[in-house]
Amino acid sequence: MTIVEGLPSNLAVEAGDIDRELSRRQAGYGRGERMQIEKDEVEILSGVRFGKTMGGPVAMLLRNLDWPNWRGKMAQTGDGAGIEPLDTARPGHADLGGVLKYDHHDVRAVLERASARETAARVMAGAVAKRFLRELGVAIAGHVLSIGEFHVPPALEGSFDAAASSEGKPLRMADAGTEERVARWIDKVKEAGTTAGGVVEVVAKGVPPGLGSYVAWDRRLDGRFGQALMSIPAIKGVEIGGGVSLSSLPGSDVHDEVFPGPGPGEPLLGKHALPFHRVTNRAGGLEGGMTNGAPVVVRAAMKPIPTQSLPLRTIRIGKWEPTTAHRERSDVCAVPAASVVAEAMVAIVLADAFLEKFGGDAMRDLLYNYSGYLRRICGE
């Protein structure tokens, strides 16, 4: 269940939009058997009338079609007699910390809730946020920059068009040659009984300057992107723009100089064009915790999936004897799916920042406030 609260009224919300995002998350070369069991389809339960929000929370339900297969082992009633506890902890997953923290003896009590199945809920909320942003002229696209040691050519980094061109590709990579090599490598990784990670990138264009703030640490938008992206399971690094690579360069090669006039980019919203432009975007569209009018570019690095078909060494919980981890149905590589989840998180953070700045109970008020702001900053 996902509940999206704080949406203005008269925003179009369609199940088709949400289902499309859910099926994007389920696709990708290297996903596991679970994706065949679950064909995700949302049920919108509240907050929408005649296809539009009414101003109240929008509740969305996504059924877990795998649940009937677990009725016995995960029963809500009874004492669990006869159910063999799963007492091995997978290195890299929540199993060990989860049983200790919540006082369980059976890892099953941890692993469904800790599963990245929860990212479907993020994608549902993200679909609504994307729809909201589309009304404001913002477009979001994500793609995979690398899997294992295979990178797309550097020219494709930071490009909205490259990210958008990865749509429908099996690994969400904008370069067909790299994708082919990666697919062959994933097959080998699978054969070897192990898993793969990689780096995803999300680009948002049409974002005005001034979202977020420098006045308090928790309002800095770069920090909010960091938290949102880092909270995706298996994401272990987040970068804004040039990120870590900027630290080894002189400032003159890092900061994006500002030039007068609107420049070659598309106008922000309809006819509004900013009175300045830049030719580089190493800052990834963020300076001082605020958007700066350039496209927002964020990256997230995903570690390889913890569940291995050739299991790693671990301990038996309670007895603390050496053993090997259990093999749960699992993905070999979920980096393409992570790029869809990362898009959702970027959309949620941006939608929040728009609502914070332009407020309004109804879409009409918000659009009016937004166009007033654009008229002011564009000097109209």
Ligand X SMILES: Cc1cc2nc3c(=O)[nH]c(=O)nc-3n(C[C@H](O)[C@H](O)[C@H](O)COP(=O)(O)O)c2cc1C
Q: Which residues bind ligand X (CB under 6 A)?
A: 32, 92-94, 114-116, 119, 232-234, 303, 305-307, 330-331, 334, 337-338, 341
Structure tokens at 350: 């941006």
Q: Which is nearer to ligand X, 26 or 369 (CB)?
A: 26
Residue 59 to residue 13: CA distance in whole angstroms: 11
H runs (alpha helix) in 73-138: 95-102, 108-114, 119-135
Q: List all residues 6 or more positions away from 103 whose beta carbon is below 8 Å from its beta carbon.
A: none
In sign, the C-alpha dihedral spanning 221, 223, 224, 225 is positive
Structure tokens at 205: 């264009």
Residue 125 to residue 150: CA distance in whole angstroms: 31
Number of C-beta neighbours around residue 284 at 10 A? 27
Structure tokens at 96: 């060990």
- The candidate with the shortest Cα–Cα distance to 11, out of 39, 68, 50, is 50
Would you call 199 helix, strand, or coil by DSSP?
strand
DSSP state of 286: E
State the nearest-atom distance from the C-beta of 170 to ligand X, in Å: 15
State the nearest-atom distance from the C-beta of 126 to ligand X, in Å: 13
The residue written with tokens 């404001």 in the block is 136
Residue 99 to residue 324: CA distance in whole angstroms: 17
Q: First-to-last CA distance in the chain?
A: 44
Q: Which is nearer to ligand X, 213 or 309 (CB)?
A: 309
Residue 101 to residue 198: CA distance in whole angstroms: 30
Q: Which is nearer to ligand X, 23 or 115 (CB)?
A: 115
Q: List all residues 6 or more positions away from 14 whose beta carbon is below 8 Å from its beta carbon.
A: 51, 131
State the nearest-atom distance from the C-beta of 308 to ligand X, in Å: 8
Q: Which is nearer to ligand X, 181 or 326 (CB)?
A: 326
H runs (alpha helix) in 167-299: 176-191, 221-230
Q: Which is nearer to ligand X, 95 or 179 (CB)?
A: 95
Which helix (H) or strand (E) segment holds residue 343: the answer is helix 335-358
State the nearest-atom distance from the C-beta of 97 to ligand X, in Å: 9
